[in-house]
Homo-oligomer: A and B are copies of this chain.
Amino acid sequence: MIASEKKLIESIRRLASRSRNRAVVQGIGDDCAVVRLSPGHELLVTTDFSIEDVHFRRKWHPARSVGHRCLARGLSDIAAMGGEPLACFLSLGLPAKLPQRWADEFLEGLVRLAKRHGVQLAGGDISAAPKITTDIVLTGQVPTGKAVLRSGARPGDLIYVTGELGASTAALNQLFAGRRLQASPSSRHFFPDPRLEIGSWLRRRGLAAAMIDLSDGLSIDLGHICEESRVSALIDSRQLPIARNATLQLALHGGEDYELLFTAPRSAKIPASIHGVKVTHIGSITRKDYRSAIKILDDNGKQRTLRPLGWQHFRT
């Protein structure tokens, strides 16, 4: 059973005091948090739901993993802008009958990741709810005018991706098939590591023209870059960095890898690895083709249209 609202807030406040960021002038305990940005910087804001039985299942995902994944989603969005995270805000809806221990471990998982990236838990809201419902808000900053947008891709740009693709959905499919998986700290499904250092590295050097994080899957997320930049793309299936336990289909359409997808002019010198993470050239941006936003070169060097097949809500 969840203790009283007051006790829950007290325990969140205690945990939050472990994560500190000097930008936060007033954290939990007022009507609003007060955050001071560095001079010459703009604010970044992103919000992400995690809902029981939609984004996670209690029998598959330990509470620590749910807390970690919840924050990682928001951090990954900050990374995709080339930004620096400052403070997070947690709206937490819990069924009254949920064991208090679940809430405690969820918060521990979240705060541990927050500490690692210097992000302060600075506020939020709590409520009773029919299912565990969390909404995480991340605020961050980026030098004025320097955020890396989805809309910056130009025909001729090369397309790159960090790390490997498909691992998270491969693990999810195993869970769906009834396998029990250890939630190992190195698992990209249970404890994804948002690519903040890489996003910031690329932004500081002005190397990325457009960037997005891979949350819904390559076929959907590259589609977002194409739509916002009014371009098309050609990717080469033989160059995709497919994770060891995954397949080409999972690398193309699997979500929740939280890798970065970015484009850079052909002249930009993109190293083979950044901060120890592999960076792979997987294709190029082309002029807008109204019939197919994304084409893929298959094993035999034949081009075909790649349809978006990643995660979508309200899908029938």
Contact = CB atoms under 8 A, between A and B. Distances in A.
A99 B76 CA distance: 33
Contact of A127 (B36, B46, B55, B149): B55
A124 B313 CA distance: 14
Nearest to A144: B36
A31 B4 contact: no
A96 B53 CA distance: 14
A152 to B, nearest CB: 10
B123 A32 contact: no
A213 interface: yes
A140 B138 CA distance: 15
Contact of A49 (B47, B55, B93): B93
Copies of this protein in the complex = 2
Interface residues of A, number: 72
Contacts of A277: none
A133 interface: yes
Contact of A139 (B45, B77, B313): B45
A127 B315 CA distance: 11
B30 A128 contact: no
Interface string A30-64: 11111111010011111111010111000000000
A54 to B, nearest CB: 5
Interface in A77-123: 77-78, 80-81, 83, 87, 89, 91, 93-94, 96, 122-123
13 contacts: A25-B42, A26-B149, A30-B147, A31-B46, A32-B45, A32-B81, A32-B83, A49-B133, A53-B130, A89-B137, A125-B135, A127-B313, A129-B131
